Structure 1
């Protein structure tokens, strides 16, 4: 079973077996996102071990609460690892922790990289940086798709540029071509 959130950088080269109808992330998750996910999964494993110990002790209510908390941590970690920008022949999808928004390529007016204040690692603190923004026809403005200070691109400027160029290339390729179904 492939892990869809671990999509590798393909250096903008389409492989013969690539399926452009499947949603894919055009960049690798950054080291910050992977490290935070690994720590959270380690915490969840300790919580599951605690669940087992509590269950063997006979406190079923406590075991159920501990199991629910561990499953919430695992689910939250999976959602955090899936967060990011996804592209397919259909359109552009921005997945955040609490929601997902999809815009078809026919509705995308422009995608640009701009200098603006961006959130540092998704926290409230802002710093000056680069952001990949999208303007959609007749829709409320989308938040920045990618920033160079996010968990995927902090201290990886070249990876940000490559990812931004890849998303722009997808937009250029499919903005004028109707989606095949």
Structure 2
């Protein structure tokens, strides 16, 4: 079963490219130009496992007759499931309209007309989102007349830790989305 939210390929083969677009494809389509990494998917899977245990405990509590306690467990499991889904969606998404930076608690959308450059730089980056920083690479999006976006794509985050080649491909893809729109100049340049 194809999972289109996990891949940047729009069609599996060339014969499908000639087919009529589906009604939902005519709308603006945001896509992630890389696959979520094993650390991110593993963390979400552990959260879903925890949610299943909490739901099972709510069933046991409800069978014991404490419906208020079961309701609290169901609410907690719902929050855990929402957090797991949101964790998988975290990252940088692109479309014809612009860039969308999805975080765990917020989303920032920037139009391509506001993007001055997209480049890869060497700088201290956060290791798996923790406060500890290490030397690494990051994709930096510089905006016109404002401060740059918070760095979310690094070679040390949950999507690319231990997957250097995947980071390079993702950085090239993001820079490739910006280049035809006349916003990014040149290839990846370490500073």
| Structures share fold, TM-score greater than 0.5 | yes
Segments of 4+ in structure 1 off by > 3 A? 1-4, 17-21
Instruction: Give the structure 1 partner of residue 158 of structure 2.
Output: 151
| From 141, 147, 150, the counterpart of 1:134 | 141
1:6-58 Cα shifts (integer Å, max 9, x gaps): 421449x9963785930000000000001111111011001001111111111
Query: Which ranges of structure 1 fall in alignment gaps of 5 or more residues?
Result: 177-181
1:50-85 Cα shifts (integer Å, max 9, x gaps): 111111111011101111111110011111111000
Query: Which ranges of structure 2 fall in alignment gaps of 5 or more residues?
Result: 184-191
SS at match of 1:140: coil
| From 88, 91, 103, the counterpart of 2:98 | 91
Provide TM-score, normalisation by structure 1: 0.88
CA RMSD, Structure 1 to Structure 2 (Å): 2.4
Contact 1:85 1:145 in 2 (8 A): yes
Contact 2:138 2:154 in 1 (8 A): yes
Provide the C-alpha distance between the structure 1 equivalents of 2:182 and 2:46, rounded to a whole number of angstroms: 39
Provide TM-score, normalisation by structure 2: 0.84
* Cα shift at 1:98: 0.9
User: What is the count of residue pairs matched by the alignment?
Assistant: 174
Contact 1:108 1:175 in 2 (8 A): no
